[in-house]
Amino acid sequence: MDALDAKYPFFAAAREAVADAAVSLPELVAADAPAVERGRERVERALMDGTVESESGEFPGESDYDVQAELLSYPIARILVSLLDSEPAIEKYAAAEAATAVDRIRGDLATDDELRSVPTPTVALDDVLAEFDLADAVRPESSRSASAPDAGAPGRDPAHYRIDVGPYLRLTSPSWGESWRLVNRALADGAVRVSRGELLDALEAAVEERVREGLPFELAAGEGIAAELEEGVADLKRLLSERSYAGPIDVVAPELFPPCMTNLIEKAERGADLSPPESFALMAFLVGIGMTPDEVVAFCADTSLDAEGIRYQTEYLKDDRGTQYPPPTCETLANYGICHNEEDHMQVAADPLAYYEKRVAAADEVADWRDREDGDGERDGDEKEGDEREGHESAEAGGTPESGGAAESSGTATTDGAE
Ligand code: SF4
């Protein structure tokens, strides 16, 4: 088995490798092979952290055994997520597979040719485009046709591409922000101009679509492989119910939001588009603190986030049983560059919701944004300025949840109470 198959298990070649290996998944499960535990970890990390990267860190590729376990963990994960019997779980799992894959693709593209002696093989952009039948639909922009000064040279690393309008519309969504709307795009000869980063966002959607295909499997509960995996599924459900915020904190106090969320809101308020992981993290946080889709729409009224996209994301973050999926952990947000862990406050809580809960608990008095005078959820200018000031002071003073509220405003933030 090729390590590249394990790295991108949804590629056609990987599917063939699994078929060629003629491994019996029920036997694998019955034998409790390493692929089974890794498959369970894959789903757990997807649901909890928005990534399927192994917690142990590096992508395993040093031995054939690791490669096989990693590759086979993918079909096992697909069975597990099917058995969870939850549409939002499937959505989130597919999104996490896609986010992880695009992270890896980004890494591969950044790997200099001369450094390709790394143990894990890499893909080229052309390979990825061909995998999704986009080889003819996406073309690097030549410097002659580029109107922007940063268009870059054609060939290996162009800064912009042209993607045919059909695939563009299929793979992108106006819900990603105003700039993705076709009317706001340079369109010529039936092709849309996108930056390299935007092309990767579209490819992430292509991966997500591929992973999502065919899920959930129809599996008779209590029989065959479903019976063998019963314990693993029960563990995942238990974990979900423990980690889900069954009784959401249900207080909206923007001045107590963790810095990562404040930064994302401020970025959107400046009119900048949020990347898919940024937007997911923010929506999961706002839903996690008990906001309804309407409230989130009102809260984000003056930002680059549009109502349609907000509704789509917030709907799938809750299933019809009210289970909520928490935002990714601080560690994952740090990997995405969303968290800067000011003054090491990651030591205090593992995820932004937990951090916010502690800040709310430590505050003397909390005014809910939904009850404020104007009633439409608008943060007025003075208040917003105050929030920003407080955020900076808190960060500079090493503010922690335990030092929130009064301590923060008196500038005597201390980490004494930190866990
Ligand atoms: S440590 Fe956690 S809560 Fe704090 S900024 Fe980072 S992600 Fe947000």
Read off the pLDDT of residues 294-313 as tens digits, 9 standing for 90 and up: 899 999 999 999 888 888 77
Structure tokens at 247: 């009784």
Whole-Å CA distances, 135 to 126, 127, 164, 202, 346: 7, 8, 11, 14, 43
Q: What is the pLDDT of residue 173?
A: 83
By the 8 A CB rule, do 262 and 339 touch? no
Read off the pLDDT of residues 358-389 as tens digits, 9 standing for 90 and up: 899 888 888 899 887 554 444 443 343 333 33
Q: What is the pLDDT of residue 407?
A: 27
pLDDT for residue 59 is more than 90: no
Q: What is the pLDDT of residue 98?
A: 93
Contacts of 192 (CB under 8 A, 6+ apart): 162, 163, 164, 165, 168, 182, 185, 186
pLDDT for residue 413 is more than 50: no
Report d(CA 360, CA 340) in Å as an integer.
21
pLDDT for residue 244 is more than 70: no
Q: What is the pLDDT of residue 177?
A: 73
By the 8 A CB rule, do 411 and 397 touch? yes
State mean pLDDT over 37-57. 86
Structure tokens at 9: 């298990």
* The total number of residues written for the chain in this structure: 419
Q: What is the pLDDT of residue 135?
A: 95
Q: Does the CB atom of residue 3 touch ligand 1 within 6 A?
A: no
State mean pLDDT over 223-245. 78
Q: Which atom of ligand 1 is nearest to the CA of 345?
A: 1
pLDDT for residue 60 is more than 60: no
Angle, CA of 322, 252 and 297, to the nearest 5°: 70
Q: What is the pLDDT of residue 116?
A: 53
Which class for 38: exposed (0-12), middle (13-18), buried (19 or more C-beta within 10 A)? buried
State mean pLDDT over 280-304. 90
pLDDT for residue 148 is more than 50: no
Q: Does the CB atom of residue 341 touch ligand 1 within 6 A?
A: yes
Q: 257, 267, 332, 345: which to mutate for ligand 1, most atoms within 8 A of CB?
A: 345
Structure tokens at 289: 């603190």
- Whose CA is closest to atom 7 on ligand 1? 330
Report d(CA 316, CA 47) in Å as an integer.
13
Q: What is the pLDDT of residue 83?
A: 92
pTM for this entry? 0.63
The structural domains of the chain, with segments of one domain joined by +, span: 3-116+216-242, 134-209, 245-409
Q: What is the pLDDT of residue 252?
A: 94
290 CA distance to ligand 1 centroid (A)?
19
